[in-house]
Amino acid sequence: MSALFTPIEIAGTTFDNRIAVAPMCQYSGHDGCASDWHLTHLGMLANSGAGLVVVEATHVERRGRITHGCLGLYSDACEDALARVVAHCRRIGTARLGVQLAHAGRKASSQRPWEGGRALAADQDPWPTEAASALPFGDGWHTPREMTEADMERVIAAFAQAATRAVRIGFDAIELHAAHGYLIHSFLSAVSNQRRDAYGGSRENRMRFPLAVAQAVRAAVPRTVALGARITGSDWLDDGIDAQEAIVFARALKDTGYDYVDVSSGGLTATARNPTTPGYNVPLAEAVRHATGLVTRAVGLIVDPKQADAIVADGQADMVALARAMLDDPHWGWHAARALGAEVRRPPQYLRAGPGLWAPAGRGA
């Protein structure tokens, strides 16, 4: 039996298989509200064959969005719009649904990628940014304001409120975005956090605000909902986060009552460069999994079904997450099941394209 297509239970919820669709920003919202694009995009991925589809980074404050087009969960309008999309996916799809709660920090107030992906210019309706320290993401980026304790309390409350909204919508999984250079990550890394107070310096101090956010979200989320975090396994920078620091943070999340982690890397500065080898984060995920015992998801250039199956079968991670591979092939899970001799649930309207009913379905992936 394929390891990739065995069910997994997290926080009392069973996921059909070990495949997740990673959260992928679409930059297509309206003042944080999901649009018809999300209805189509997520509805398509809900039938990808994945056991879990995670909605893109969904920001807890209007000022915490990356771009003008990013999703939020900071108003009744945002909640209603996302609830509409989730209800649609439940009606037509087979996957469990998750959401990633985020705050962009010093990477906020930027252009959509197809507009240039730089900091918003003065004539593009920019907004002030904030972060652990007053250090810009890179040359030409806005210099953020160093957050005060009052700012931190405001953001903690915003995360808790967004989590409450996510619970009301009915997500099966909720996760914090603590990677890719966004607000929580900017506190965790010594490269971006150069504070001299109780929130900077030592590793314990740098984790203080992130763990306060994690605790507030844990308090807002019932134990019947899978709660996790995307963390960074490496900044790929001198003096940055490495696998050992990732393990320490993951252990702290486990002690806070978190059920899983998704191990990614990079994105802390404009000059940081990730490796480009397939599955480059897998060793980081494996180190975290073995050291903490947490359910662990690996992500990063995982494309081939046999590669994904081996990651789970060899105990390197409990789940794998795919992003661009799913955009390229929205039925990746169906084709992976065919290649690995497994089965996935399909909507009845598509059964005629399943094994035994259509000749190409009997071929390899």
For the chain, domains (ranges, CATH) are 3-362 (3.20.20.70)
What's the CA gap between 353 and 50, in Å, rounded?
Answer: 17
Return the H-helix or E-strand segment holding 145: strand 145-146
- Residue 205, Cβ density class (10 Å: 0-12 exposed, 13-18 middle, ≥19 buried): middle
**Where residue 361 falls among pLDDT bands split at 50, 70, 90?**
low
List 27, 182, 199, 260, catalytic entry: 182
Q: Which two tokens stand for residue 93?
A: 């799809």
Burial category of 105 from C-beta neighbours within 10 Å (exposed 0-12, middle 13-18, buried 19 and up):
buried
Q: Cα dihedral sign for 355, 360, 362, 364?
A: negative
Neighbour-count burial of 303, counting CB atoms closer than 10 A to its CB (0-12 exposed, 13-18 middle, 19+ buried)? middle
Residue 145: pLDDT band (50, 70, 90) is very high
- pTM score: 0.95
pLDDT at 365: 47
Q: Is residue 350 flagged as an active site residue?
A: no
Percentage with pLDDT > 90 across the chain: 93
Cβ burial of 130 (10 Å; 0-12, 13-18, 19+) is buried
Pairing of strands 13-15, 8-10: antiparallel
Mean pLDDT for the stretch of residues 1-26 = 97
What's the confidence (pLDDT) of residue 1?
82
Give the N- to C-terminal CA distance of the chain in Å, as an integer.
Answer: 17
Res. 358: pLDDT tops 80: no
Q: What is the pLDDT of residues 31-88, one digit of tens each?
A: 999 999 999 999 999 999 999 999 999 999 999 999 999 999 999 999 999 999 999 9
Confidence band, pLDDT 50/70/90 cuts, at residue 128: very high
pLDDT in tens, 235-294: 999 999 999 999 999 999 999 999 999 999 999 999 999 998 999 999 999 999 999 999
